[in-house]
Structures are given as structure tokens and as C-alpha cells.
Amino acid sequence: MTVLSMKGVVAGYGGGAVLQGVDLDCAERTVTCIVGPNGAGKSTVLRVISGLLRPSAGEISMDGEAIGGRAPDEVLRRGIAQVPQSHALFPAMSVHENILMGGYLIRKDRRLLRERLDMVRDRVPIVAERAGDSAGNLSGGQRRMVEIARCLMLDPRLILLDEPSLGLDPRSLAGVAALIQELNRAGTTVLLVEQNVRLGLGLATHGVVMEGGRVRLSDTAEKVRDHPEIASLYLGGTTAPSGSTRAPAG
Ligand SMILES: Nc1ncnc2c1ncn2[C@@H]1O[C@H](COP(=O)(O)OP(=O)(O)OP(=O)(O)O)[C@@H](O)[C@H]1O
């Protein structure tokens, strides 16, 4: 079943279209990774889905219902949560308080809030382990985990992640990759943008290559990763060794 569908989406920032007719589908329970050169429009795709940017043409639908051009809070209520590129936590607030902010839309339903909090603590252990610490005192990798955990408070159907690997050391990378895969196993559909092509396509089920505001290639992550042009452009001329289709866990 298709969760998210984009057809012929055109969008930009006033000085001409950045997205020039993007077609993209995310099937339920898949992890789709968008890769491509700087300026290709990858982050713009996420912005146009989450409602931060209005498309000037084309269609965007979620579970078959049109959402193109809707306000961000409405898109969020429909189950699409975006985790921004970085620095998304309130550094002076505790981890627990930051997580509660993620439940703002459901704050009046105390029981649901409590249930979600338990679920988030369960899925992302650092939320309980560092509950009382200021978010500003966490390492980069821990912050990224809490940023992702925060968006789980609304139990989204689709999570949008903009460069989850940005600025992380290798150990944190593995932890964040494992968390994304775990969420996916629990049933969440994920769409992410990644500069770290090896990591992104390693943890994804599907890959999308963008160039000049268009989708150039869309296939299983494995096929995209093994595509000769992708290998030479992004993976240093070598295709990933067979058997390394998934990022290491832990
Ligand atoms: N807020 C903005 N205002 C004006 N132009 C923008 C804005 N954000 C992005 N752009 C332009 O839109 C184009 C696509 O940007 P986008 O961030 O989507 O690319 P990207 O593929 O994610 O690349 P990168 O990895 O560099 O972020 C670029 O030419 C960029 O300069």
C-alpha cells in the first residue's frame, strides 16, 4: 500500500522552480533514501511534503488523500512528522521536557500522553536513561536519538529525516542507523535524505537519485547502490561489497 505519493510536483523559493516535476512513492513499511548532488532539491522534497513549502503544481497525497499545500500542523496531524537537519532540541530543557514538547498536539489527553511516553522510553532507551539531563549536555549522537524519539510522541505513520548522519562520529552513526531500522521494523514508513550515500542506501529498502530537481532513478536500495553510475559518482568508484546491505546495529 502506498503511504505517500508525489506526482509532477513543482516547487521553489520564488526565483524559479527547484523541483521540476517530482514523482515519488513511499510504500508502507519501507525506508526510502533520497541521494543526489548538492542543490538537487532533496531537502526541498521534504519541505514540500511537510507543508513548509507550497507546491506550485502537481499532487501530493497521503493514504490517497490530497495534502499538497496544507499547513504544517495539518500535515503533522495526518501522521507525517519531520525531524529537521539538526539543532532541533531546546538545549536548556531536559530530555524529558523536550520529549513532552513532541506531544504538544495531544497534551490534553493525559492518558494517551502517558502511553506514548512509555512507548517512546521503551523504543529509545536514552529517553529514560538521560531524562533529567539538559539536552545541551548530550553528545551529537544522543541528541539525534532524542530528536527522532521526540517525533514518535505523535506516533507518525511517516517520518521525514533530513540528513540524520550530519556531524556524527562513526559510533553514533551506527546507533542512529539502528534506531531508524528499528522504527521501521515496528511499522513506521521512513523517507530520508542522506549525503552519506553508503550509510543511507545501506539502511534503506528503496533508493531515489535526484538531480536538477528531478528524480533520475528510483529502485530498490540495493539496485541503486549497485548502479554503475551511482557507484562511480558517490561511492568512490566501487560498489559496496555483497552482503553489506544493512548498516551495522549497535
Ligand atoms: N530557503 C531557501 N531560499 C531560497 N533558495 C533555497 C532555499 N533553500 C534551498 N534553496 C535552493 O534550492 C536548491 C535546492 O536546495 P535543497 O536544499 O533542496 O538541495 P539539496 O539537494 O537538499 O542539497 P543540499 O545537500 O545542498 O542541501 C538550491 O539551489 C538552494 O540554493
In a domain, 147, yes or no: yes
User: In terms of residues, how long is the chain?
Assistant: 250
Q: Are 126 and 157 in contact (CB under 8 A)?
A: no
Q: Nearest residue CA, atom 1 of ligand 1?
A: 13
> Residue 206 and residue 76: Cα distance in Å, rounded?
23
C-beta separation of 83 from 152 below 8 A: no
Which amino acid, 31?
V
Last residue of a domain, one of 155, 184, 210: 155
Query: SS3 of 5, please?
Result: strand
Contacts of residue 117, defined as CB under 8 A and 6 or more positions apart, other chains included, come to 99, 100, 103, 153
Question: Which cell goes with 209?
Answer: 537519485
The set of residues, in sequence order, having a beta carbon less than 8 Å from that of 61 and lying 6+ positions away, is 4, 5, 67, 68
82 Cα: distance to centroid of ligand 1 (angstroms): 17
43: in domain: yes
Complex ipTM > 0.85: yes
- Could you list the mean pLDDT of each consecutive 10-residue stretch along the chain, which spans 250 residues? 97 92 97 94 97 96 95 94 83 96 91 96 94 95 94 95 91 92 93 94 95 96 90 60 44
Could you tell me if residue 144 is inside a domain? yes
**Inter-CA distances, 180 with 58, 161, 204, Å:** 29, 10, 9
The per-residue pLDDT for 240 is 45
Q: Which of 155, 174, 199 finishes a domain?
A: 155
Give me the CATH number covering residue 49.
Answer: 3.40.50.300
Q: Distance from the CA of 40 to the center of ligand 1, in angstroms?
A: 7
13 Cβ below 6 A of ligand 1: yes
Q: How far is the CA of 194 from the centre of ligand 1 (A)?
A: 14
Residue 11 belongs to some domain of the structure: no
Distance 57 CA to ligand 1 centre (A): 18
Domain assignment of residue 151, given as a range: 87-155
Candidate of 9, 10, 18 to mutate for ligand 1, largest count of ligand atoms within 8 Å of Cβ: 18
Element (H, E) at 117: helix 110-123
Which strand (E) or helix (H) includes residue 233?
helix 228-234
Q: What is the pLDDT, as a whole number, of residue 235?
A: 63
Q: Name the pTM for this structure.
A: 0.90
User: How far is C-alpha 83 from the chain's CA centre?
Assistant: 6
Give the type of residue at 163: E
Decide: 16 in ligand 1 pocket, CB within 6 A: no
pLDDT of residue 233: 74
**Can you give the three-state secondary structure of 158-219, one letter per residue?**
EEEEECCCCCCCHHHHHHHHHHHHHHHHCCCEEEEECCCHHHHHHHCCEEEEEECCEEEEEE
Among candidate residues 99, 124, 155, the one where a domain is terminated = 155
In this prediction, residue 239 carries a pLDDT of 44
The pLDDT score that the predictor gives to residue 236 is 58
- β-bridge mates for residue 209, sequence order: 35, 217
DSSP one-letter code for 27 = E
Q: What is the pLDDT of residues 84-131, one digit of tens each?
A: 776 789 999 999 999 999 998 899 999 999 999 999 999 999 999 999
Query: Are 177 and 142 within one domain?
Result: no
Residue 135 lies in a domain: yes
Cα separation of 67 and 5, whole Å? Answer: 10
Q: Is the CB of 37 under 6 A from ligand 1?
A: no
Q: For residue 242, what pLDDT is reported?
A: 43
Shared domain for 72 and 178, answered yes or no, is yes
